[in-house]
Amino acid sequence: MNQLTLQWVEAGQVKTYTVAEQQSSQPSRSTRIGRDPVRCNLVLTHPTVSGLHVEIFYDPQRGGFYLRNLRDSNPPVVDRQKLTEGDVMLRQGTSIYLGQVELQVAAIATRVANTVVVPPPVATIAPAPLAEQPTASQAGSAYGLRCPRCHQISLYERLSLGCPWCGTSLAAAVSVLMVPGEK
Ligand SMILES: [Zn+2]
């Protein structure tokens, strides 16, 4: 079976998640990544991650794993390139930023006929800091939560408190950029 392993750090702990190609004649089901546990297989709780942010799927015709953006307003950054539309092939060592959370493709195993091909480890693991990544304080003011009921946008500090307008829980709220006077 073809599979891809993601690795990231959450609360100081290294976490991994394996995306496996579905073995069936049905169209491949994707792995959905975001903050909303209802819609996502892989849940990242960081407030800069959108409720449903990206999906990863195996494309048998192109013979690889691909990542597709599902949030126009909060595009992921894949190997320092913003992915605003379409999809991009993932390779071992690929860096994926969802908001401020970085995921790395730790391993990809693809089966060609009966042979499992495991690429050798990538020598350079540590990427240089991204100049365009916002700092924590900048991002705190740049991102907001859109209420799923009344669509008002509030600050991340409201995440655990609920919508200040209608009181709805913001756990499933969509992350949006709130950049006053955007250049
Ligand atoms: Zn509301």
Q: What is the pLDDT of residues 103-114, one digit of tens each?
A: 999 999 877 645
Distance 92 CA to ligand 1 centre (A): 41
Distance 161 CA to ligand 1 centre (A): 11
Distance 59 CA to ligand 1 centre (A): 39
Predicted confidence at residue 112, as pLDDT, reads: 61
Cβ neighbours of residue 47 closer than 8 Å, sequence gap 6 or more: 35, 99, 143, 145, 156, 159, 175
Distance 164 CA to ligand 1 centre (A): 7
Q: What is the mean pLDDT of residues 115-128?
A: 57
pLDDT tens digits, 2-45: 899 999 998 889 999 999 886 555 555 789 999 999 999 999 99
Domain residues of the chain, as ranges? 3-116, 137-177
Helix (H) or strand (E) holding 107: strand 101-112
Q: What's at 89, amino acid-wise?
A: M
Distance 15 CA to ligand 1 centre (A): 33
pLDDT at 129 exceeding the cut of 70: no
Q: What is the mean pLDDT of residues 126-141?
A: 51
Q: What's at 24, amino acid-wise?
A: S
Predicted confidence at residue 158, as pLDDT, reads: 83
Indicate the average pLDDT of the chain: 83
Distance 182 CA to ligand 1 centre (A): 25
Distance 109 CA to ligand 1 centre (A): 44
Distance 174 CA to ligand 1 centre (A): 12
Predicted confidence at residue 143, as pLDDT, reads: 78
Task: Give the integer Cα–Cα distance in Å for 33 and 160.
Answer: 21
Question: Which of 54-63, 132-141, 164-173 shows the lowest per-residue confidence on average (mean pLDDT)?
Answer: 132-141
Local confidence band at 116 (pLDDT 50, 70, 90 cut-offs):
low
Fill in the DSSP letter of residue 56. Answer: E
In 3D space, the residue among 143, 65, 137, 76 whose CA is nearest the CA of residue 107 turns out to be 65
Residue that wins the pLDDT comparison between 155 and 36: 36
CATH topology of domain 3-116: Tumour Suppressor Smad4 (2.60.200)
Predicted confidence at residue 155, as pLDDT, reads: 85
